Structure 1
Amino acid sequence: MFTDSHCHLSFPELSGNIATLRERMHSAQVTRALCVCTTLEEFDDVHRLALQYPELWSSAGVHPDNEGVREPDVETLCQLASLPRVIAIGETGLDYYRLNGRTVADMEWQRERFRTHIRAARLCRKPLIIHTRGASSDTLAILREEGEGEHDGRQAGGVFHCFTESLDVARAALDLGYYISFSGIITFKSAHELREVVAFTPLDRLLIETDSPYLAPVPHRGKTNDPSLVPFVAQQVADIKGISVATVGERTWANFDLLFQPVISEHPSL
């Protein structure tokens, strides 16, 4: 029994083939997936999937890389987060990987967007889905500045998804009370240092994901990814930690429940 904690089934590579994908998930014992929103314009499509299929859930947010899209505000994010089967805010965060001739100082719009998501998550008590690439210092600093890690009862918490950062960043994320989610990247031959992060991350703070349609794990690397392949990520975690893949599946399933418990508990039969 596996949970894909982050996928994009509304993207065109996957959206036209949902029936087949659900069959593939069933065959692979992937019984839940979180469909993650990347723009407000996309939200209705993401949410519709969660409303239509009991094994799917959704989030509400605007990806840091997306420009020229509707800008979120706290009120809008909280309104969307209050809808049935919306269990998280995001994905959000910072991405300085492609500055396209700009400086980090020029990315203040991204930092303000991130702060908006954090404030919404803390207000409406939904976990954050954090994306950080080439920007981990600012990501952690802003989370702290906005009150995350204070454990004062107002913590949004959440997950650093598709983690590719250093061991020091992982330690800092864990210290803030966040979970860490690993994708098919940990199966790549070159991912030696990332596998060390997997070994370090406590099993009770770990999630697995596909980030599909991207980052298909070995032996499917280079192909279109989908939630049915998340057991390959689980197997790599199991190999690194010297435990069974069944244990990884059970523990990451439970971790998903713990992170999103306030919403999951409203639907105990799903």
Structure 2
Amino acid sequence: MPAAVPAHRGGAVVDSHTHLASCDAPPAEIVAEAVAAGVTRIVTIGCGRESSEGAVALADAHPEVYAAVGVHPHDSDAWTDDDARWMADLASHPRVVAIGECGLDHFYDNARRDNQQRAFRAQIAVARDAGLPVVVHTRDAADDTVRILRQEAAGHPVIIHCFSMPERVDDVTAEGWYASFAGPLTFPKSLALREAAAALPADRLLVETDAPYLAPVPRRGRPNRPALVAHTLERLAEVRGLTVADADALTSANAAAVFGW
């Protein structure tokens, strides 16, 4: 087990976004470690057809695991109508709780921006048809992300994963979107992010790891795991002026509301 996993305080910690198949140990080991640390539910995320099908298989194999299915913006150049079809088929599985991650990435621009927007809009449509929340990846693309979500997802549940738009707190609040905070909330220089976490509505806050990426302090720079989500939860509790137990209860209730379990 990684060092410095906070002791479980009797709550029901939820890791709302992780990539179990990409972690640095077999998924069964990662899940068992998380459960031992007090994590009761994990949403493992698809980024394409193969990883989405794998996420569903992991959700079938582990009662603590649920799946999201989608196509990452990096792969948007290859998007076809067939992607919407297989995604809709997987969305009917009882262990699938969201569509995503999908969205826009203007930092890497690994796909053409028009294709990113096309795939993003199509996946929002799948989410609406399936009655599932949409999990959004956005990087250096806040303006376009907000615009498209307003056009395509009005009134629909939206989760901004690894929240990194502190300058758009007013928009996120007005639209009722969920903000899921990951390891960067714990980084020393993330003052604006912590101010956003303090300002956003309490009933729209989630925590995640995005494992194996973005490990929180004190594990920053090393592979992340769902067991470490408690570090982010503790930082969220601090900035909100809550006990860890109350922050745990809050984010767990929010996860139950948006994912429907």
TM-score (norm 1): 0.87
Residue 8 of structure 1 pairs with residue 19 of structure 2: yes
Question: For residues 182-197 of structure 1, what are the structure 2 equivalents within 5 Å?
Answer: 182-197=181-196
Selected match of 1:19 from 28, 37, 44? 28
Q: Letter of the aligned partner of 1:214 in structure 2?
A: Y
1:181 match: 180
Kindly state the Cα deviation for residue 162 of structure 1 after the two structures are TM-superposed: 0.2
Q: How does 1:40-189 map to 2 (within 5 A)?
A: 40-66=49-75, 71=80, 73-99=83-109, 106-146=112-152, 148-149=153-154, 151=155, 155=156, 157-167=157-167, 169-189=168-188
**Cα–Cα, structure 1 residues 20 and 234, in superposed 2: closer, same or farther, change >3 Å?**
same
Amino acid at match of 2:242: I
Partner of 1:267: none
- Does the CA contact (< 8 Å) of 2:46 and 2:53 recur in 1? no
| One-letter amino acid of the structure 2 residue matched with residue 109 of structure 1 | N
Aligned mates of 2:109, 2:94 — CA distance in 1: 36
What is residue 243 of structure 2 aligned with on the other side?
A: 244
Shift of 1:112: 0.2
Shift of 1:58: 0.2
Do the aligned residues in 1 keep the contact of 2:79 with 2:119 (CA within 8 Å)?
A: no
Secondary structure of 2:63 counterpart: coil
Query: What residue is the counterpart of 2:4 in the other structure?
Result: none
Cα deviations by residue, 1:33-76 (Å, 9 ceiling, x for unpaired): 00010011222211110000000000110011125656454333
Secondary structure of the corresponding residue to residue 73 of structure 2: coil
Structure 1 residue runs without a partner (length 5+): 265-270
- Deviation of 1:80 after TM superposition, in Å, equals 1.1
Contact map agreement 1:182 1:233 (CA 8 A) in 2: yes
Amino acid at match of 2:73: P
CA distance in 2, matches of 1:74, 1:177: 26
Q: How many residues align?
A: 249
Tell me the equivalent position of 2:223.
Answer: 224
**Which amino acid is 1:9 matched to?**
L
What is the alpha-carbon root mean square deviation over aligned residues? Answer: 1.7
C-alpha distance after superposition, 1:133-182 (max 9, x if no partner)? 11111111111222x23x3xxx3x12001011123x12212322211000
Percent identical pairs in the alignment equals 38
State the distance in 2 between where 1:180 and 1:62 align. 20
Give the partner amino acid of 1:126. Answer: L
- Separation of aligned partners in 1, 2:124 and 2:77: 21
Looking at structure 2, the residues matched to 212 and 197 of structure 1 have their Cα atoms a distance apart, in angstroms, of 22
Aligned equivalents of 2:31 and 2:70: distance in 1?
24
Q: Which residue of 2 aligns with 1:268?
A: none
Q: Distance in 1 between matches of 2:169 and 2:97?
A: 23
Residues 41 and 22 (structure 1), Cα distance of their counterparts in 2 relative to 1, 3 Å cut: closer
